């Protein structure tokens, strides 16, 4: 257990009534081209800033008891442009892709000669150590330990990254972390999780200013 991130004194509450609103950061040059963007700290594009403002309009009617953001610039800027007063949570950084940082799935598959995906085959060491999907899920679980009590008081917003939020959703739904491979998120999108008849549920998913025509590549 990390001394900087202690577990709560009481277990998570049963069936909190608030909503958990997930906001993926706006577009960056790397997300636009499908490059894996883990810990590399790059800014939003102009369109990404517009998407962030649009996300703010989508969540304007929520009464948030807690707003958390990844410390990376693309998430912090998205929270700012969305009009959210967010606290930084270091656990909410994106998946550490290790040696696959900055590379596209297409290029990695061409190199390996098979249909690689981070969820199925994992990543390799690089300039950073990389993480397994289970390690990302462990971080997400600790975030949820903080979030669920706040959902008793009202709605909660998390501003973070595509893969991290997909894995967090799997953990919230009590599914295996790799379930995140089956739910995609577009840049600047808003999703809502909550409880329905005592069960964790998806209320709205990947909602944005326009409906996607194809799954996101990043």
Q: How far apart are CA 35 and CA 19, in angstroms?
A: 31
Q: Please report, for residues 15, 17, 49, 70, 183, the alpha-carbon distance to residue 197 in angstroms, rounded to integers and kept in the order given.
A: 8, 11, 37, 31, 22
Tell me which of 49, 94, 101, 131 is the catalytic residue: 94
In sequence order, what are the beta bridge partners of 124?
A: 98
Count how many Cα atoms sit within 13 Å of the Cα of residue 140 in the half-sphere of its side chain: 30
**Residue whose tokens read 């005592």:** 198
Sheet of 190-196: strand order equals 87-88, 64-69, 155-160, 20-24, 190-196, 199-207
Is position 163 annotated as part of the catalytic site? no
Residue whose token pair is 């656990």? 91
110-128 CB burial, b ≥16 within 10 A, e <16: eeeeeebebbeebbeebee
Q: Which pair of tokens denotes residue 71?
A: 């410390």
Helices (H) and strands (E) in the chain, counts: 7, 6
Rounded distance between C-alpha atoms, residue 28 and residue 36, angstroms:
11
> Residues 25, 36, 161, 163: which is the catalytic one?
25
Catalytic (active-site) positions: 25, 94
């Amino acid at each position: 257990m990390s001394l900087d991130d202690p577990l709560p004194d009481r277990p998570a509450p049963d069936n909190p009534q608030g909503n958990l609103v997930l906001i993926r950061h706006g577009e960056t040059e790397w997300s636009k081209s499908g490059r894996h963007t883990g810990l590399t700290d790059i800014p939003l594009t102009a369109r990404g800033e517009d998407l962030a403002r649009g996300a703010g309009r989508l969540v304007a009617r929520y009464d948030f008891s807690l707003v958390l953001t990844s410390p990376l610039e693309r998430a912090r800027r998205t929270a700012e442009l969305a009009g959210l007063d967010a606290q930084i949570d270091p656990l909410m950084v994106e998946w550490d892709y290790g040696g696959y940082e900055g590379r596209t799935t297409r290029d990695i598959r061409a190199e390996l000669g098979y249909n690689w995906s981070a969820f199925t085959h994992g990543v390799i060491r690089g300039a950073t150590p990389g993480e397994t999907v289970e390690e990302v899920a462990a971080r997400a679980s600790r975030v949820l330990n903080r979030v669920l009590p706040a959902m008793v008081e009202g709605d909660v917003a998390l501003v973070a990254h595509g893969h991290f939020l997909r894995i967090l959703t799997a953990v919230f739904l009590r599914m295996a972390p790799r379930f995140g491979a089956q739910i995609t998120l577009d840049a600047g999108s808003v999703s809502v999780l909550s409880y329905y008849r005592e069960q964790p549920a998806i209320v709205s998913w990947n909602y944005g200013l326009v409906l996607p025509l194809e799954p996101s590549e990043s």
